[in-house]
Amino acid sequence: MWKRLLETTKQAASFVSKPAAPAAATPATSAAASAYKCDAFVAVAVAAAASKCDDAIADPKLSTLKKRSSKRRAAVTTAVTQASLLRLKQAAASKKTALPSSLPQAHPYGLDEDDPPEALTKVLMSVLDGPDEAEEATPSGAPVEDSEDAGEIATTNKILDFEWFQAPSSKDPTLQYRREIARERKKQYIFKNVESRRYTKLMQLCANKLGTESTVEFFEKLGRETGVKEFGSLIRLCLNKARDCKDVDSAVEYIYRAYHLFETMRDKGLTIEQDIYGPFLLYLVDVGLSEEFEMFTAFFKNSNPQSSRIAYYEMLHCIRVQDELKIQELCHSVEDYNEEAHYDIAESYMLAFAESGRKEDLIALLDLLDLTKVSGSKYISNIFKSLGRLELDNYAEKLLQGMSSKGCAYGDISSIILDYVANIPNVLVEDMLVAFHKWIEKFEVAPSITAYDKIISLCCNSSKISLALDVADRMCKSSSNVPIESFHPIIYACEQSDDFHTARAMYDLIRHHNLKLKSETFRSMISLFVKMKDFEGAYNILADAEESGEISTVSLYNAIMLGYYREKNQSGAQMVMYQMQIAGVKPDSETFGYLIANCESEENISKYLDQLRQDGIQMTKHLYMSLINAYSRLGNFEMAKQVLLGEEIPRKLLSDIKSALVFALASNGQILDALCMYDDIKQSGGSLEPKAAIALIEHIRTEGELDRMHQLLDELNDSSSWIEGCGRVVLYCVQNNYPDAAIDLLKQLKEKDEMSTYMVVDQVFGQIWEMEITNLDLGMVLLHGVKDLGLNVSRTSLDFLLSACVKLKSSRHTQQIWSEYESAGLSPNVLTSLRMYQALLSSGGRKAAKKLLKNISKEDEHVRYIIDACRMTYYSEDFKPSATVRSRSKNKASSKQRATSEGTEG
């Protein structure tokens, strides 16, 4: 704010002497400094501003536009010593186990719902007619034989009267024997991985194309048995579609389809388990379909009489519809339960009461039951979590006593205790640990590794990384078989919080307890050391990995190389390549991706391409993207476009690679080419990646592209990307004078994330202050629009508008904005009053400025300096500055003279 005050004062002074050339407009992302913390730093800010008042002032920044502040401490790059490199060389030379240079690259193969029917056909037949385990073991270089003849394909094509694809004719009689074998294999083929993502996607696509009933019929006609998991996938599809419906009447159709699938399961003799019917009953409870709920519960009880979990949904339904008589009837029915097997129903009632917050009903039910029998429940963990949320210490203690008397035959007591104390409302992690150890000592049990893992995760989720490390140390001391995976949450928390320096203590702890690290752990640790620029430590970890002799280290070298490239250290990255050659580690596709992306010449790109072809490394999506980025960075955009012409690029990767090209073109100023490529993607039925769409939105500056902006915004499906893109489109609307469109977008943004809306609003008014031609009328329209949306106008936004009044010298707007401070409940502080004083002087309102000046405290010398600077700018030339200004000017002149003389002597 102080810098902005002095800057506009200086600009006004230059306008008085001679007309100044308009300054280049800066993006809204470099708006003026935030006034949020000005009161706390008044003296410091004014001192800094006053000392630089005669110098050129850099463009101020808006704090609301900054990314989240990094907590990274000042890191000092550690040079890699020759001793570390020698140790690495010796470790690589004495490696006991021969390891592959790289892992095989997975072939990306998937399908989207907008793909043409031919693509669905290929995926479907590749799964249905896929090889069995013996065939999958065949080397990739072996010749591929046909597994079906034209007649069989023609029959398959007509299943359900759905034309899948044209079958190629085959006239080779020598393949008949192999075809017969393939037919027999297909008849006996059983899906062994039906829960895989690929198969689930296939079931959903078939159901979307054919319908659920026709999908079941289709698989049956192909001789494929539809089991519980297949039916579960189709039922979940119906449930998701029902949830997506805007009204219950529309959802009834999918409810009926699901009911038909349940009936088919029963007729086939399949057991309908809780994981299938549970979400469905819960949906019926949520939408209040009581009749349908009663029908389905009766059906499930008849189909699976052994399932006691239906009682949970029955009680939950009674609670939702507030049927108190039925609730009491169900509760008293448990009084007759004598056997532990019957307690499953009572436990279901307990969970329903706990999750609904009915504490009194839960206590009454607990008083009716023999808690020693409840302690044997398979849902005991959920029960203790509920007891913790309701703070029922006495009942939790009784249950624990019952478990202790049975010798902990039903689970890990320490984990159950943790379930209780961790769910106590508003408990801090430190207090939770104290309570946990108190209960542990009381029941004389040792914490298990599972309990320790949960505590570590809780500490990391609360950003208590040091505490998590202490817990991990205690766990290692109490047990000799701690898995390295227990440290992974701590590693992830360090990466997320930028607390990289904890990595040293963590790695020392791991080595002290002689834990066996895996490849991903080594890489994560190296990444942390690299991010704090400790390459010496990273090389030491790499040497430890080489000495272990049990893992592939190519990914570890890649992590160090990436760190050097982040630091723009080309020689360091080349040293990594040299160390790989010494160790006999062959680079993989990731290595070449880093090398190509950071090439400084096209000759080096060609060299690395030749090398990876000689090494037999297949091109991957990231390699194609690296090529595009490298050529674009070097300015050879034609070569970047030529990458797309490669015939070997899989069709599935083409959309992502085109998006990478759009991003590279837009980021390097080739907006027209980027837009042409975007239009090509849309015409081919594809979609743009969020990163590329945001790059286009950010770099389009041409007026009249509002429709294009909305089209690009529609490309952003996930919430975070849409919010980021929306903010940039709003700024485009402000820059090109589209107030109605900007307000409409702010309304949509508020519905999604109100906090982000406030940040964007501050950016909007910051851009109005920054614009070459200050448009305060637009600013006032947007101000009223923001207020109509029910948003509170921040001090930062009003300060920007008041600063714009100084530039425009508008008395009318100055008074309007000054009144907005009072309307927003913002009392004027020193900075705001000084800004208003300057605005009044710039617009000729000297009388009002003099009146305002009486209310400004002048005890601070920096405030007096700003006042004198304003007077010198806006009053007559014979104005004499105060002693403060004269003293500062004299000191500054003498310091400049000393600097000049020192430079001359040098």
| Sign of the CA dihedral running 435, 439, 441, 446 | negative
What average pLDDT does the segment 276-292 reach? 85
Res. 10: pLDDT tops 60? no
Q: What percent of the chain has pLDDT over 70?
A: 71
Question: Given this model, what pLDDT does residue 637 score?
Answer: 94
Adjacent-strand bridge partners of 761: none
Nearest Cα to 507, choosing from 483, 525, 524? 525
Alpha helices (runs of H) in 268-309, residue ranges in sequence order: 274-287, 290-303
Question: Given this model, what pLDDT does residue 869 score?
Answer: 86
Residue-wise pLDDT for 429-447, tens only, equals 999 999 999 998 888 888 8
Res. 30: pLDDT tops 60? no
Are 310 and 300 within 8 A, CB to CB?
yes
Q: Residue 389 and residue 356: Cα distance in Å, rounded?
A: 11
Residue-wise pLDDT for 235-259, tens only, equals 888 888 888 887 777 788 888 888 8
For residue 116, name the pLDDT band (cuts at 50, 70, 90): low
How buried is residue 415: exposed, middle or buried, by Cβ count under 10 Å (0-12/13-18/19+)? Answer: buried
Question: What's the alpha-carbon Rg for the chain, to the nearest Å?
Answer: 35
158-167, 339-348, 656-665, 679-688: which has the highest mean pLDDT? 656-665
Nearest Cα to 768, choosing from 756, 785, 754? 785
Q: Is 464 helix (H, G, I), strand (E, B) or coil?
A: coil
Nearest Cα to 749, choosing from 731, 771, 767, 737? 731
Question: Given this model, what pLDDT does residue 119 score?
Answer: 57
Residue 879: DSSP 8-state? P
What average pLDDT does the segment 144-161 reach? 40
Q: Residue 218 and residue 284: Cα distance in Å, rounded?
A: 29
Residue 131: DSSP 8-state? -
Question: Given this model, what pLDDT does residue 505 score?
Answer: 92
Are 617 and 650 within 8 A, CB to CB?
no
Res. 40: pLDDT tops 50? no
Res. 868: pLDDT tops 60? yes
Q: Is 534 helix (H, G, I), strand (E, B) or coil?
A: strand
Q: Residue 745 and residue 758: Cα distance in Å, rounded?
A: 13
Task: Mark 235-267 as b/e (b = at least 16 C-beta within 10 Å).
Answer: bbbbbebbeeeeeeeebeebbebbbebbebbbe
Q: What torsion do the CA atoms of 848, 854, 856, 857 make, to the nearest 10 degrees?
A: 170
Res. 174: pLDDT tops 80? no
Least confident of 143-152, 463-472, 564-573, 689-698: 143-152
What average pLDDT does the segment 582-588 reach? 90
Q: Residue 828 and residue 818: Cα distance in Å, rounded?
A: 9
Q: Give Cα 39 to chain centroid, integer Å.
A: 35
What average pLDDT does the segment 534-549 reach? 90
What average pLDDT does the segment 335-343 reach? 61
Res. 44: pLDDT tops 90? no
For residue 271, name the pLDDT band (cuts at 50, 70, 90): confident
Q: Supply the mean pLDDT for the chain.
A: 76
* HEC profile of 305-363: CCCCCHHHHHHHHHHHHCCHHHHHHHHHHHHHCCCHHHHHHHHHHHHHHHHCCCHHHHH
Question: Given this model, what pLDDT does residue 879 score?
Answer: 43
Nearest Cα to 791, choosing from 821, 811, 836, 761? 761
What average pLDDT does the segment 35-49 reach? 34
Contacts with 796 (C-beta within 8 Å, 6 or more apart), sequence order:
34, 35, 36, 62, 64, 762, 765, 766
Q: Residue 814 and residue 730: Cα distance in Å, rounded?
A: 25
Res. 340: pLDDT tops 80? no
More confident residue, 400 or 98: 400
Res. 838: pLDDT tops 70? yes
Q: Is 139 helix (H, G, I), strand (E, B) or coil?
A: coil
- State the DSSP H helix or E strand holding residue 384, giving kind and residue range, or none if neither: helix 380-390
Least confident of 270-279, 377-386, 551-560: 377-386
Question: Given this model, what pLDDT does residue 695 score?
Answer: 94
Tokens at 404, concatenated: 């202790």
Least confident of 182-191, 373-382, 870-879: 182-191
Task: Look up residue 491 and give its amino acid.
Answer: I
For residue 659, name the pLDDT band (cuts at 50, 70, 90): very high
Least confident of 54-58, 74-78, 627-631, 813-817: 54-58
Res. 276: pLDDT tops 80? yes
Q: Give Cα 713 to chain centroid, integer Å.
A: 19
More confident residue, 822 or 163: 822
Residue 35: DSSP 8-state? -
Q: Residue 147 and residue 129: Cα distance in Å, rounded?
A: 8
pTM of the model: 0.66
Q: Residue 794 and residue 751: Cα distance in Å, rounded?
A: 19
- What is the chain's length? 906
Res. 24: pLDDT tops 80? no
Least confident of 29-38, 193-202, 505-514, 875-884: 29-38
Question: Given this model, what pLDDT does residue 124 score?
Answer: 52
Task: Mark 764-777 as b/e (b = at least 16 C-beta within 10 Å).
Answer: bbbbbbbbeebbbe
Q: Residue 869 and residue 141: Cα distance in Å, rounded?
A: 81
How buried is residue 199: exposed, middle or buried, by Cβ count under 10 Å (0-12/13-18/19+)? Answer: middle
Are 373 and 340 within 8 A, CB to CB?
yes
More confident residue, 432 or 885: 432
Res. 104: pLDDT tops 50? no
For residue 103, name the pLDDT band (cuts at 50, 70, 90): very low
Nearest Cα to 766, choosing from 798, 744, 809? 798
Question: Given this model, what pLDDT does residue 128 score?
Answer: 47
Least confident of 88-92, 317-321, 605-609: 88-92
Adjacent-strand bridge partners of 78: 534
